[in-house]
Structure 1
């Protein structure tokens, strides 16, 4: 009896760790950032960019990435989820993880410095087998953006932050919203 109980607990734990982040093949489409800026932790400066560059490395190099993502009013009643994809041309090394926070800035276009980081929403880890970042529910239980009601007509303001002492996540960003199940490269909000 003890063996059966232990085996069932182990199987249950294994299944919960191996569960996919979301059913990416069920998405109706994806919303991408309208503004993306790299935040230099040391200088506090923000610079517009075409890619995520969330890095913590030797020689005191540390950057995070700020995103502004307007959610169309037409998504009222839909479910949303964070999706991050990296392809072969991207650079993912070290811990290969990102902590995602919401931010309090009003307009990223008019934010030359600072990040106004607020509450952690999730931790994700790169899955080299799929090219997607999966939610790490062990490192951060109950991620708030794994599945959530789409905030139709609102703008999401997020930041990706490096995890650990060496973490490199440099990912090209597609900037065209996508209809259908094929996720764009970079950070997006999938909906269904």
Structure 2
């Protein structure tokens, strides 16, 4: 049943839209504060369809993400109870924030490097760092390195693949989509 192919084609069309870089910046900024969808969802198809622009897109995503991280940090530091806590409760991030606090206690500011590749969203680390009143400049420096590593890796992989990778993905996207759905359902049933 080909349900994912039309979505794949639509995403690739969106990736070459003239305003796509602006949307990427906005998404990357918001994802560091509250947005639940990872930046990679937009960055990957943009880098895949426009490989010569991949590094530029990764740079945009990195800078916007780190700037958003600064806002998340400030919200955690200054407005946790009135602004952030209701959102944490609504999204169910209590356990993730406790995990982030534990990681900060154990690894210090360096955990932000791991945050770029961990299952915990970066926004949890930005807010938690603010709540814990970590040093701002080291937090920003480590965030810059971690976010750049992630986004340049994604852009680089897509850039290397180029058109052949896009076509290969197109031919197997329905299979991959259904496999992902089955894995998500299995994980849900095993973890509940």
Q: Which has the higher contact order (CA 8 A, sep 6+)?
A: 1
Tell me the TM-score normalised to structure 2 length: 0.23
User: More helix by proportion, 1 or 2?
Assistant: 2
User: More strand by proportion, 1 or 2?
Assistant: 1
Tell me the TM-score normalised to structure 1 length: 0.23
